[in-house]
Amino acid sequence: MPEAPVEAPTFRLFIAGRWVDGVSGETFDSVNPADIRDVVGRFQAGTAADVAMAIRAADDALPAWKATPAPKRGEILYRFGALMAEHKERLARAMTREMGKVLAEARGDVQEGIDIAFLMAGEGRRMFGDTVPSELPDKWAMSIRQPIGVAGIVTPWNFPIAIPCWKLMPALVTGNTVVFKPSSDSPHCATLLVELMDEAGFPPGTINLITGGGAEVGDAIVENPDVNVISFTGSSATGRGIAERAGRRLKRLSLELGGKNAVVVLRDADLDLAVDGILWSAFGTTGQRCTACSRVIADRPVADELVARLEARTRALRLGPGLDEAVDVGPLVNAAAVDKVERYVAIGRREGDLVTGGERGSGVGLEHGHFYRPTIFAGVAPMATIAQDEIFGPVLSVVPVDGYDEAMTAANQVRYGLSASIFTRDVTTAFRAMRDFETGIVYVNAGTTGAETHLPFGGWKDTGNGHREAGHAALDTFTEWKAVYVDYSGRLQRAQIDNQPG
């Protein structure tokens, strides 16, 4: 890492197919969380004026993009997916440098973007509606999807390529145009993504990128009446505010919010497998995944043994910069995230028994980064603060319970409902759990993380508002349904009247 500051490159906004400076002339820095002396770049602090220009550009581009046959739109998505595959390593390294996740996970993040680009490219030739028999003779009945208009896309930093792609790809293949505001902790990843989209051939104005603060840029997107649909991923607090504002304007809104995901380990579980699954889910991406496991609900006969095995394996995890391939756990994203983890660890010391961790990372190579040691608390009550709040860091609570029913009550006794998992060798119990978890994702004999792009992704309760990303379900956020009837009988036929007796 550089000792002396090197002049960081300045990046621009992308509006109507051109890279431009923001109106204000102000910029902000994106820094490497593993070494804050390393400035990744300087980014435009976008304003409401920039957002207004981007929305106008998206609106202008809409008629031609809507009129482009969906399979042709899909071909551009396909080219974009192929370009991402070509640049996968470069994107992954840029991601690790900018937001900290270890390189293997960054490669996975890019791959998820590639997968959704290819899946949605195919939707250009599917985008199924229903064709159904009419209840009347000589009449045709079908439904088609149509684009909603200009889509506002607001994303977090923890999956800085995958999550934007999860939103951009379905929005664009269905014929919407987009204004995209990435997290201020990952503007470089977003810029690289949009550069490749430009190269892939998305016409000017179909994709517009505005970097800048949530309050300034995000609000301007949400409040603008010409933005017809908002797709947001981030914290429940921010999502709630957006929902209130978008609700007043009756805007279509998809929210993917926080999680407090549980792994249930029953007395008949394969404990080695459970430990592997828990470690990967709890400390991968330094606990900063929406699907991260932050609660282990342990059946009492195996709880102590499980904690002992988790402790040994957690102590062996290597903490350090994610660009070092030998590192298991990278830094937290920024100083505020470390402060938040510290606050919860202080609460945890009162609510449970500290097993390992509980301190900032220190030592050679960690001096200039936002490092925190993977932390485990045992003997935590189901309703304790650290078992209820989303900490979004490497802090795991082990909650002891007696048997399946108590485990399921504890698992569901949170306001979130994204992912849950159960370790058991009993097939009957596994099926009961698939039924009983109040979450959008359920795993059996694996951790809580890892979604495949062709199934719907999203959560129950405070995790969202009922929409889903990925899979065919992703199209629902970005399309209006239109039911189309063609009556070729040559006479007036009245549904529900002319084909009924009396």
Structure tokens, 470: 């990925």
Amino acid of residue 464: G
| CB of residue 455 to ligand NAP, shortest distance in Å | 13
Residues 6+ positions from 279 with CB-CB distance below 8 Å: 310, 313, 314, 317
Cα–Cα distance for residue pair 356/375, rounded to 1 Å:
5
- The Cβ-side half-sphere exposure at 379, using a 13 Å CA radius, reads 8
> Which residue out of 165, 189, 290, 293 is catalytically annotated?
290
Binder among 91, 99, 154, 307 for ligand NAP (CB under 6 A): 154
Residue among 218 and 394 whose Cβ is closer to ligand NAP: 218
Binder among 134, 146, 235, 388 for ligand NAP (CB under 6 A): 235
Torsion-angle region of 398 (φ positive above 0: left; ψ -120 to 50: alpha; else: beta): beta
Cα–Cα distance for residue pair 466/364, rounded to 1 Å:
46
Residue among 42 and 66 whose Cβ is closer to ligand NAP: 42
| CB of residue 66 to ligand NAP, shortest distance in Å | 26
Residue 205 in the binding site for ligand NAP (CB under 6 A): no
| CB of residue 184 to ligand NAP, shortest distance in Å | 3
Give the DSSP H/E element, type plus range, for residue 480.
strand 479-487
Instruction: List binders of ligand NAP among 462-481 (CB under 6 A).
Output: 463
The count of residues in the chain is 502
From residue 280 to residue 309, the character string flagging contacts with ligand NAP as x (rule: CB under 6 A) and all else as - is ----------x-------------------
Binder among 215, 335, 383, 486 for ligand NAP (CB under 6 A): 215
Residue with tokens 């908002």: 230
| CB of residue 219 to ligand NAP, shortest distance in Å | 5
| CB of residue 239 to ligand NAP, shortest distance in Å | 7
- Strand extents, DSSP E, 271-318: 293-299
Structure tokens, 152: 């506002």
Does the active-site annotation cover 290? yes
| CB of residue 156 to ligand NAP, shortest distance in Å | 3
**Contact region with ligand NAP (CB under 6 A), list: 2-10, 59-67, 200-208, 253-261:** 253-261
Cα–Cα distance for residue pair 375/397, rounded to 1 Å:
9
Cα–Cα distance for residue pair 265/398, rounded to 1 Å:
10
Q: Which of 258, 386, 326, 298 is nearest to 102 (CA)?
A: 326
**Contact region with ligand NAP (CB under 6 A), list: 254-262, 354-362, 369-377, 488-496:** 254-262
Instruction: List binders of ligand NAP among 365-394 (CB under 6 A).
Output: 390, 392
Give the DSSP H/E element, type plus range, for residue 99.
helix 88-99
Which residues are identified as catalytic?
A: 256, 290
Binding site for ligand NAP (CB under 6 A): 154-159, 163, 181-185, 213-215, 218-219, 222, 233-235, 238, 241-242, 256-259, 290, 390, 392, 418, 459, 463
